[in-house]
Every structure is written in C-alpha cells, then in structure tokens.
Amino acid sequence: GLDLAQESRFVMVASEAEADAFPIEDDQQEPLVASQHFDLLSLIEDEILLSIPLIPKHPESACQPHASSFGEGGEAAEASEKPQNPFNILKNMKKN
C-alpha cells in the first residue's frame, strides 16, 4: 500500500481578486474563495491526488542488483565484450 501524509492550510478569502492578491511566497497557506456551495470532498480529493508521487517507487531493499559493481555481470558482460559483425553473414553468403 501507499502511505500518504499531507498537511494543508487554507485561508478563506471573500473574492477572486483577494485570492489573486494573496502572496505567492507564502508556502504555508493557500487561499480559498468562500462561497455558499463549498465542495469539501472535491478539495480533499484534489489534495490526495497532488500528494501521490508522479513516479512509482519501491524501497531500495526490494532491489536485487545483477552485478555488485561495474564490470561484473556474468553472461551479459561476456556477450557485450564480443561485438558481432552484422556483415559476417553477408560474407558467408558471398563465399557460397
């Protein structure tokens, strides 16, 4: 599962103009325009969606590296040491 912990602080303002005038530098509070029909559920949903990481992550302990250091890797490293020439096939066809 994904553990989410989000703390948000909002300041109720009377108008859009007052919200636009709210200082951008204030990272602690966000202005909300007060209205008779306030959708709290939508606000909570938006905050949850914004707190979800964009890229899925897993704990480092869940990774099992294929090699302990660069240069070690078993068969994959051996295969990369001997690059194959794609023209060898054509050379063999020309001989026949």
- The residue ranges of every structural domain in the chain are 10-51
CB atoms closer than 10 angstroms to residue 43: 13
pLDDT tens digits for range 59-84: 777 777 666 666 555 555 555 566 77
Q: Is the pLDDT of residue 17 over 90?
A: yes
Kindly tell me the burial class for residue 13, based on how many C-beta atoms sit within 10 Å of its own C-beta (0-12, 13-18, 19 or more).
Answer: middle
| pTM tops 0.75, yes or no | no
Q: Specify whether the CB–CB gap between 11 and 31 falls below 8 A.
A: yes
